[in-house]
Structure formats: structure tokens, C-alpha cells
Chain A
Amino acid sequence: MREPEKSLDSLLEEYRRKPAPPGLKERVLRSVEEQKRLRTAATPVMRKLAAVCLALTALCLGAELMMTRSETRLLDALLGPDGSSAERQVREDIHPEQAEFLGLGKHEESILSLRLNRQKSSTRARRIDGLRKINIISEGFNGS
């Protein structure tokens, strides 16, 4: 450091800060204590608020569950245990392969195949009837 800077340094060392105004420490620490007290008072209130919110949420969820249950019971009572008629129709129309693809049980699959076979035999019987009728008609023509 150069000489003039040194002299300025030593000159500056003669200056001191004045003491802080009286009562500053008490004021600062008192305000800190007050703020702390306010915060500690606010914390239990926040806890109570959180508990009330939690209880309300649980209440809403419980009510929702109960409403869903009663609605399901009502629908079951209206549509019967096998479900709606539309659903029944779909089950009847479905092909065994599709049933397998859709993952229906073996029992249901066998019922469906039986129904299909019955339908096939009735179609065959209808065809035979038709052929018979045609035969009778042609015999009638030949006879005349």
C-alpha cells in the first residue's frame, strides 16, 4: 500500500461508529418474541383446520360410496340378476369362438354352442320341409 493510502487508513481508524440508540435491543428482541408467539398461536389453528378438512373429505368419500351402493342395488332390482335385456340378447347372439376370444367361461360357451346347434337343426328341418313341398308340387305337375 502506498504512503498516502496508509495515512488515510490511519486517519479512518480514528473514526468509530456511535453506539446504537438506547432500547433498540429490547425493541428488536421484543418484536421477535411477539412474532414468534403469533406464529405459535397460528400453528394449532392451522392443525385444527387441516383436521376439519380431512374429516370433510372422508365424509364426502363415504357418502359417495353409500350412494353408489344404493344405486347399484336399485338397478339390480330393476333389471334382474342377469342384467339388462340388451345384455342378454348380446350373450345369446355371440358365437362360441368369439366367446372364447372374449374370455367367457366354459359353461357359458357350452350353452352358447348348444343354442347354435339347436338353431342349425331347426334351419335344417325348415329346409327339408321346403324340399318336401317342392317335391309334392313337382309330383303334382308330373301327375297332371
Chain B
Amino acid sequence: MRLEEIYDRYGDKLFHYLTIKLNSANDAEDVLQEVFLRFARYSIRWRLVRNVEAFVFRAARNEANRFARRNMKRGVGPRNAAELAATMREMTEGPDQAATEMLTGALARLPEKQREVIVLKIFEGLTFKQIASVCGLSINTAASRYRYGLAGLRSLMEGKDEGT
């Protein structure tokens, strides 16, 4: 499998996921380049990879974590919920503007672990098995994070400031 083919299949999804994870489209682009560079450098035998989608998402997640760690060392902290909501709004299209704003605002206020599972499930279309593989969790933990995330999301969208 060539890199271009990998990009055609998963590139946009990875960029979307990384943008939400890192809360910046520019950082996401840098990390995406690094991810593909790693793929090229290690000349991975794609035929031997059992679940390519989970593999590429896991590689992207690891690279994003490395990037975030480097940023923290340099004193660049994570951005706040309002900035994340704005980033997510730019990356998401919904039935109407108001609903999208409400959803992205609520998603931004969720705990990161739950938000990550919801984004992977809803926007990137991964299964719980794949999410478990990407995040290094058991399938049950991934499913329960999703459930808790949805419950928190509902509370936030209904105006209860629980946040879980």
C-alpha cells in the first residue's frame, strides 16, 4: 500500500481527529506530516497490519501526545474550552448553526478522555474495538467512556452544568 493510498483513505479523518485533539489546525498539519514521515521512514509492511485504520489512528495519537509533551516542556499549555469549541465548530458541519454551536460547546467542556472516544466514534466512524486499540483500552472501557460522555453531553446540552 502506498502512502498516497493511505492518505486518500485516512488522511482527512486523521487531520480532523488531530485538529480536535491538539486544538489547532496548524499543529495537526505538522503532526500529520510527522506521522506520514514515520510511515515512510519505517517502510511498514501494510499487508501484515491487521487493522490498518486502528494502526494509523494509534500512530497519529502517539505522535500527537509526543507533540503535546514537547509543547508542555516549552511552556505551551493546552488551550481553553472556548478556543476548543471554536476549533471544533470550524471542523464540523451540522443541520444548523445554533445546534452545531451548542454541540461543539458541550463537547469542548467534556473531559478529554470521553471527548476523544466520542470524536473517534461519531466523527471518524471507528468501532469500539478500534477505539480500544487506538487508545490502549479494553473494549468495555471504551464503550463505558462513550456512554458517560454521551450522558455528560446531554446534561451540558440541557443546560445542567454537571460536566461529569
Give A residues with C-beta under 8 Å from B: 1, 4-5, 8-9, 12-21, 24-25, 27-29, 31-32, 35-36, 39
Contact = CB atoms under 8 A, between A and B. Distances in A.
B13 A17 contact: yes
A15 B103 contact: yes
B3 A32 contact: yes
A20 B122 CA distance: 17
A93 B38 CA distance: 75
B74 interface: no
- Interface size classification for chain B: 35 or more
B36 interface: yes
Interface string B136-155: 00000000000100110110
Given A5-B151, A29-B36, A35-B40, A15 B3 contact: no
Interface of B: 3-4, 7-8, 11-13, 15-16, 25, 29, 32-33, 36-37, 40-41, 90-95, 100, 103, 118, 122-124, 147, 150-151, 153-154, 157
The B contact surface, by secondary structure, is helix
A24 B36 CA distance: 12
Contact of A32 (B13, B40, B100): B40
Contact of A5 (B4, B122, B147): B147
Given A24-B29, A25-B11, A32-B33, A14 B4 contact: no
List the 4 shortest-distance A-B pairs measured between CB atoms, nearest first. Answer: A17-B16, A20-B12, A15-B94, A20-B15
15 contacts: A5-B154, A8-B150, A8-B153, A8-B154, A12-B118, A12-B122, A13-B122, A14-B95, A15-B95, A15-B103, A15-B122, A20-B11, A28-B33, A36-B41, A39-B41
Contacts of A14: 94-95
Contacts of A24: 11, 15, 29, 32
A27 B37 contact: no
Contact of A9 (B12, B93, B150): B150
B92 A17 contact: yes
B120 to A, nearest CB: 12
Contacts of B12: 17, 19-20
Nearest to A9: B150
Contacts of A32: 3, 33, 36-37, 40
Given A15-B92, A15-B103, A17-B92, A28 B7 contact: yes
